[in-house]
Amino acid sequence: MGKATGFMEYERKDAPVTGPSERIKDFAEFHKRLSYEEQQLQGARCMSCGVPFCQSGTMIAGMMSGCPLHNLVPETNELVYRGNYEQAYRRLSITHTLPEFTSRVCPALCENACTCGLYDKPVSTKENELAIIEYAFEHGLVKEQIPEVRTGKKIAVIGSGPSGLSAAQLLNSRGHSVTVFERSDRPGGLLRYGIPNMKLDKRIIDRRIKLLEEAGVVFKCNTDVGKDIKGDEILKEFDRVILCGGASNPRDINAPGRDAGGIYFAVDFLKEVSKKLIDLDYDYEKLIKSSDFSFKSLNGKSVIVIGGGDTGNDCVGTSIRLGAEKVTQLEMMPKAPDKRTASNPWPEWPKILKTDYGQEEAIEKFGSDPRIYQTTVDEFIKDKKGQLKAVRIVSLEPHKDEKTGRMNMEKVPGSEKELKADLVLIAAGFLGSQEYLTDTFKVERNVRTNVKTSADSFETSIKGVFTAGDMHSGQSLVVRAIAEGRAVAASVDKSLMGYTNLR
């Protein structure tokens, strides 16, 4: 341990953040960085616990506690404290080779399981990780491994999101020939088109893709497997197939008036905004004035976002940047408590109220929190032209089902209220894998429509076809998708070679 009393000597200091009133003027990343010297003091706060829950990656009460990648957190924190960023990068790379993504978008499961956080503020492991990877890029340390010998085995990865990229990366380093099929025009999947630019600048993705291509990974974009090319064709050409298509079926809101114009799924909204921003070389002014952009100006318009999760928050922040006059976010569940309850002890994931960047921006711009809890849309109201003009919302109350014991949210009669709405964005989550993709490979799906495998396995019901990420486990976090991508790479490698050194 670098400094035994570091957590007592140094207060947690987070990197500066551009204020809400300034950052809503563009789509640039707004989280800054501390100097490397300042970050060293944050590394000194790590106690190197006897039992480091931060790196455990264990399911507790149905929730992940600690890092699913099992990053060697106390070791990398100490190396940050020592100022040895090069060795910290080498150590981090043992378990994780895409930290430029998680250090920006991960909710920091490691920090929420930090022992220091039980009575004080947790160690800033996420920002330590960001400092490590950016130091490595700045000093030319990040290089994809180019194998000296190829195995002659060919692998197809369907989907270039976090699980697909991590699987492709490891399998290519092993010497297999990897081709990644992506239905969109650019690689990245969820990272590129599911997360707004202010959280993850897309040039960060391009930086990694360039390294992967130089190392031999082939990306075939604008290729929708199951439509443009059938599964049988891929199975004939490749020795193994990995399905990493994500949980791509957005959950709908089937209320009267659903066919009104002006209702979009959040994923379609966020994708169009991100794609147009990239096409215009990240020029914010050109974006909001573009003639062929569906959302070029939301000035004077009221936006309703249905869904209180991360995607809903992203819709709030994006709508504000596009000039919305008013943004309201509807959340079905009750408002979470400000502090842990007795039924949610550490090191469980804290089920407490989180006010994210989009809500902060709404509070700054509109003067109040945009969230309305325990409510949903009861009806979409159209004008004479079939365009959305308002929504009728209804309050919800939890009621226990006596047969199952589950708590269900039920409508409260007489609580209906009408809100103006020019645009509705449905961010109610995802239901599972898309049927046309699973059908083309004839793989089985489970009751939750995720691709079915046996316990602790990544091979599907069809021999030689594997799966990982959200398509396998359901909608989850980028860090869990990367962990599954690494795990499926080891499984595929072992099936081809009889053994594996990947992990």
Please state the domain extents for the chain: 6-138, 154-248+431-497, 263-426
Rg of the chain on CA atoms, in Å? 23
Cα 246 to chain center, whole Å?
A: 11
Enclosing H/E stretch for 275: helix 266-279
Confidence (pLDDT) at 1: 66
- pLDDT for the residue 502: 94
Local structure of residue 449 (DSSP, 8 states): S
Say if residue 143 is exposed, middle or buried (CB neighbours under 10 Å; 0-12, 13-18, 19+): exposed
What homologous superfamily does CATH list for 6-138? Alpha-helical ferredoxin (1.10.1060.10)
Q: Identify the CA nearest to 36 among candidates 103, 1, 73, 84.
A: 84
- Which residues, at least 6 apart from 278, have a Cβ–Cβ distance to it below 8 Å? 186, 202
**pTM here?**
0.96
Question: pLDDT tens digits, the chain, 503 residues: what are they?
Answer: 668 899 999 999 999 999 999 999 999 999 999 999 999 999 999 988 889 999 999 999 889 999 999 999 999 999 999 999 999 999 999 999 899 999 999 999 999 999 999 889 999 999 999 999 999 999 999 999 999 999 999 999 999 999 999 999 999 999 999 999 999 999 999 999 999 999 999 999 999 999 999 999 999 999 999 999 999 999 999 999 999 999 989 999 999 999 999 999 999 999 999 999 999 999 999 998 888 888 877 988 999 999 999 999 999 999 999 999 999 999 999 999 999 999 999 999 999 999 999 999 999 999 999 999 999 999 999 999 999 999 999 999 999 888 888 889 999 999 999 999 999 999 999 988 999 999 999 999 999 899 999 988 999 999 999 999 999 999 999 999 999 999 999 999 999 999 999 98
For residues 414 and 399, the answer to whether their CB atoms sit within 8 Å is no
Which fold is adopted by the domain 154-248+431-497?
A: FAD/NAD(P)-binding domain (3.50.50)
Check the CA dihedral 104-199-201-269 and report its sign: positive
Domains 6-138 and 263-426 share a fold: no
Q: What is the DSSP letter of 232?
A: H
Tally the C-alpha atoms within 13 A of residue 62's C-alpha that lie toward its C-beta: 2
Cα–Cα distance for residue pair 429/380, rounded to 1 Å = 19
Q: What is the pLDDT of residue 158?
A: 98
Do 466 and 241 contact (CB within 8 A), yes or no? yes
Q: Please, what is the angle between helix 310-321 and helix 266-279, to 10°?
A: 50
Residue 433: both structure tokens together: 């894998």
Overall CATH class of domain 263-426: alpha beta
The angle, 0 to 180 degrees and rounded to 10, between the axes of the packed helices 125-138 and 73-81 is: 60
